[in-house]
Amino acid sequence: MTVASVGVGGGVITRETTLRIRRFREMGLAYLLLLPALLAFGVFTFYPFLRNFKLMLYETPPVPGLPAHYVGLHQIVPTLTSTPFTQSLVTTLIFVVLVVPLSLILGLALAVAAHRKLKGIAIYRMIFSSTVVSSVAVASVVFGTLLNPVVGLLPWLGINPSPSALENTTWALPAVAVITIWQFLGLSFIIMSAGLQSVPDELLEAAQIDGAGAWTRFWRMTVPLLSPTIYFALVVSTIYAFQSFGAVDILIGYQNAANLHANVLIYQIVNTLQMENNPGAAAIMATVLFLITLGLTLLQMRFLERRVHYAN
């Protein structure tokens, strides 16, 4: 009797201890596995993010070699009201308005056209998706040549603005927008297509039997059923549009960007940092960009979050 209870008691203690050791080892393993990712995030995402707020408080004198000095909040308002910044913000908003709706509409149109069971449809889908793999540099070389006043297509089409499209105050930004729309088209098509595939065909067929025409079916059924997808595509391409600047850097350049009203926000930040050597002002502008992206990402997170809850 006594012997048995000691045995049982001893067993419980050992099991608890092994369990505790197991838990402890599991915890150790977990932190070990997380270490590489957390280290990289800490050094290259969170630290620079936080340091950005500190940079905003320091002003770098225009004379090279002198150290930055603390100015508190005093350079924030002058930076945000400076002409280069306000101009680049307006330019970026115009750019986003030019790029986003058109790339969504064209992507949706192609997706609807390709949403049919036809022979060879896979090839068309491949073609419509293809621009998603184009980099901004490839797109810039391709369109830079198309828009070239001598070897390009414009003279043949009878449109030849002077100065040429990429050196023209009116046409420089729309030209960059066209390049970006072409580049975004593949992504827009892919997202819209995936959305269309989740719309039940029976619904559309039922509507067709009830006598609804193609136009009515599109506006009354496809678009409402697709609205979560369109919303996602809208948020994603708006974020991308706010962050794009490569075509301006390659085809227009630092010297001309501001004069040609093509000085998008990122380009302004890069040049404030690298050409004007002014990290404080660059940090302030970057914070504005962060707030814009944050707002947009929070909208997107609502979807992501739904997926997380769904998975749990």
Q: What minimum distance in Å lies between the beta carbon of 24 and another protein? A: 10
Distance CA(141)–CA(293), nearest Å, equals 28
Does 73 sit near another protein (CB under 8 A)?
Answer: no
**Binding another protein by CB under 8 A: which of 76, 87, 102, 129?**
129
Distance CA(270)–CA(281), nearest Å, equals 11
**Residues in 78-107 that interact with another protein by CB under 8 A:** none
Question: How many whole angstroms from its chain centre is CA 3?
Answer: 70
**Binding another protein by CB under 8 A: which of 8, 27, 206, 223?**
27
**Binding another protein by CB under 8 A: which of 118, 162, 202, 210?**
118
Q: Are 241 and 180 in contact (CB under 8 A)?
A: yes
**Residues in 255-294 that interact with another protein by CB under 8 A:** 266, 269-270, 273-274, 279, 282-283, 286-287, 289-290, 293-294
Does 203 sit near another protein (CB under 8 A)?
Answer: no
Q: What's the Cα-to-Cα distance from 198 to each of 92, 108, 191, 213, 227, rounded to whole Å?
A: 34, 14, 11, 21, 12
Q: Are 193 and 125 in contact (CB under 8 A)?
A: yes
Residue 150: half-sphere exposure toward Cβ, Cα within 13 Å: 0
Does 201 sit near another protein (CB under 8 A)?
Answer: no
| DSSP symbol at 49 | H
Distance CA(137)–CA(238), nearest Å, equals 20
**Binding another protein by CB under 8 A: which of 70, 73, 307, 309?**
307
Q: Are 130 and 220 in contact (CB under 8 A)?
A: no
Q: Is 6 or 45 the residue whose CB approaches another protein more closely?
A: 45
**Binding another protein by CB under 8 A: which of 86, 145, 170, 216?**
145
Q: What minimum distance in Å lies between the beta carbon of 2 and another protein? A: 34
Number of residues engaging another protein in binding (CB under 8 A): 103
